[in-house]
Chains A and B, each alone.
Chain A
């Protein structure tokens, strides 16, 4: 019978990404309820040394495939390696991150394992010894509770939602041969162009300052950048602002952009069209600054300021600067 809670970890350039610890902590919680083990899959090249970090967050066993063809990530190589070790060990639950890489890999694994999967979950728990996954649908306009009739029961977890909990285990490392068939590796990475701005991606940001139509033009974003610099936030934008060409596509938050869940989301000059609200309503705290007291964004905001954002934001930037210097 299928047994064990497994996770597929994610590393980049030999550094485990935060989602890996979110996965480990969540898997530990589920495994404790089931009385089972947590096993992690770690794939890459020259990465054996980082396996131990996972045991700090409750991982009992780390299955490591260290192979040049696993670096950098490609779908074919990682899916082949992960599917092999999963099939050999028959876990009852398999968790991945709903990061860009995790989304690319999870579908491929679903195909290889012919199983069911709940994507981008915001909650997972055990009910009657089985996985019950809760996930936003329609960009959060409603939620679905997913049940499974096959194993492994697969779920991907939305980044930034699940807490990281330290829970040290002895943590054994098991090396395995990924048995890659070079003729089946049909994609390759030709070039990696890193974003040198040093800003955290919107989907992983703890703080986001977003601007909408109320910014009046691309220059308006200077004051938003100013506030973002002071509080260490990433800048986002509404669809209206992106479609107007004021901000790049990668900044768009909403149903046809990025779905974000920061600790603090500051919406400036965003009226709150339903498609925007859908993309940010899982933020822990929402602040809205808008001249129009009737703007729908205020119904979602924890703190609302009805005023001209061009006056409020510079003042807020100064006030935050002062508080942070204390």
Chain B
């Protein structure tokens, strides 16, 4: 079975995000970079499929040179080889361009199932997985918390929570599956795994090598800090009952929400 896991490198969830004074981007100094948490679930699921069905896991990443570290992490977890798409022309690429580059890289290798995180916690757009599926002409099963591949390896059943319900959906392979928290508990890279990862092959490619024309269709014209919230008030009172009654009164009379 040929399994692909797409990984992105993102600032970790504790990172403070500061916008550059000219609004052209975020200040990357001091940021700790990690594998996108949702991609970790994808890599873990890819490794479990490999353990069950045999085959190979190829990890595909996109981004500047620092992304090699995240690629190596996925290899240290147990993936077999990597493709790192690295091209300054792709910095700040929109979802379509990113997916087009990933699709070009993946189209060139055998692929039965492709895992992506359901969204990356930096751009938060959740679009790359579906666009990738469309560009490869294969179905998508998005935001899944459980994935069961049939023994014949031809169809997959997945649990997909939606607002107020949970769906059991079925798709045919090859397909793109986007991972939601709950899919599994990602393993840590072991020390021997980390040593081995250093020797695993990673193919670095630029847009030209993939035959991708970079034409960004939606771009961030300006980054801005979040709207500031006005200072709130501390609700006073001598005892819990007084404080609670005052809070209820404020919610009703001042905020008019209850």
A-side residues, CB < 8 A to B, are 74-76, 79, 99-101, 103-108, 110-112, 114-120, 132, 134-150, 153-154, 186-195, 199-201, 203-204, 207, 231, 249-250, 252, 254-257, 259, 263-264, 273-275, 281, 284-287, 298, 300-308, 311-313, 315-316, 318-320, 322-324
Contact = CB atoms under 8 A, between A and B. Distances in A.
Contacts of A200: 164
A99 B163 contact: yes
B240 interface: yes
Q: How large is the interface on B (under 10, 10 to 19, 20 to 34, 35 or more residues)?
A: 35 or more
B170 A103 contact: no
Contacts of B225: 142-143
B128 interface: yes
B209 interface: no
Nearest to B126: A103
30 contacts: A75-B139, A103-B130, A104-B142, A107-B127, A107-B133, A118-B218, A119-B124, A137-B220, A139-B124, A142-B19, A143-B225, A143-B226, A144-B222, A145-B223, A146-B221, A148-B217, A187-B141, A189-B167, A191-B168, A249-B182, A250-B161, A255-B13, A263-B257, A285-B257, A298-B232, A298-B234, A303-B235, A305-B235, A315-B240, A319-B247
B107 interface: no
B247 A305 contact: yes
B217 A149 contact: yes
A79 B131 CA distance: 11
A117 B96 CA distance: 8
A104 B123 contact: no
B245 to A, nearest CB: 5
Ranked nearest first, the 8 interchain pairs of A and B with the lowest CB-CB distance are A107-B130, A116-B218, A111-B134, A116-B217, A315-B244, A319-B248, A141-B17, A119-B125
A75 B177 CA distance: 13
Interface string B212-245: 0000111111111111011011110000110111
B133 A111 contact: yes
Interface string B184-220: 0000000000000000000000000000000011111
B218 A147 contact: yes
A76 B130 contact: no
Given A300-B229, A304-B234, 15 more contacts: A75-B139, A103-B130, A116-B94, A147-B221, A149-B219, A187-B139, A190-B157, A192-B165, A193-B168, A199-B164, A249-B182, A256-B181, A264-B258, A312-B240, A323-B258
